[in-house]
Amino acid sequence: MKKLYKFLRTDLKSHYGDCTWKVGEWKHEDEVKLCSTGFHASDTPLQALGYVPGEILSVVEVKGKSKIENDKSAWSDMRVVKAYLWQKKDSVAFSIYAAELCIENFEKIYPDDKRPREAIEAAKKWLIDPSPENESAASSASSAAWVAESAARSAAWEAESAESAWSAESAARSARSAALSVWVAEAAWSAASSASSVESAARSASSAGKDLIKKIDAWFIKRIKVLEKYDK
């Protein structure tokens, strides 16, 4: 039976609609239409995070009728078989990892601008010691990285080598997301932004992009092994 991934909100609630899940319980809908009806999931946690920045990462089984696209699918029948808490520390750790995968894209074009790198380091310090001081420092670093991101975005519109400039902007945004995820109320939103940034950088990197995505997918599988299980 096919297994996919789906992010859910607190208490196993779907982000869209009013569906509340229970581990092991099948749910069914007669009509299946992408982005409208049926139950949605993705092949990888990275893809799932891009659609729902939730507090619970679930592994689901599916069967029955389906509609499938590249990064999501809708099914008539689905059940949650495993559920894990996706906490702030997980979002921060992912954002750091994602940012470090593509920060060199920024630094190749702006070698003297250390603000995105400093945002990553600020997030790392919070992950080791989640003190108010380190949280405040991450906030400041995120604001500084936003300035660098804005500058890179402006350059991307004017650059002759738009591909390289866009890749730099994506890298700066990912670095900012790493620091931002430390202090925002819903850190998963920043993690989702970081995921989007890496995907943008991967597209800009053409053939090397597939390797970036593979690394992210491997990181998620490894991270799942240390996530706290949802036991309600």
Q: Mean pLDDT in each 10-residue stretch from start to end of the chain (232 residues)? A: 93 92 96 94 93 94 95 96 94 88 86 93 94 93 89 67 67 83 73 71 60 88 95 78
CA 163 to chain centroid, in Å, comes to 22
Please give the DSSP secondary-structure letter assigned to residue 139: H
Contact present, 40 and 6 (Cβ < 8 Å): yes
Please give the pLDDT value at position 20: 96
Distance of CA 61 to the CA centre of its chain: 22
Q: DSSP label at 228?
A: P
Phi, psi of 110 (to 5 degrees): -125, 70
Q: Can you give the pLDDT at residue 129?
A: 96
User: What residues have CB less than 8 Å from 7, skipping those under 6 apart?
Assistant: 15, 45, 48, 49, 51, 52, 53, 54, 56, 57, 58, 86, 188
pLDDT score recorded for residue 162: 54
Can you read off the two tokens belonging to residue 158?
Answer: 């004017």
pTM here is 0.87
Amino acid 207: pLDDT: 54
Look at residue 65 in the predicted model and tell me its pLDDT: 96
pLDDT, residue 182, reads 85
What pLDDT was estimated at residue 166? 65
Give, rounded to a whole angstrom, the gap between the first and last alpha carbons of the chain.
Answer: 25
Per-residue pLDDT, 224: 96
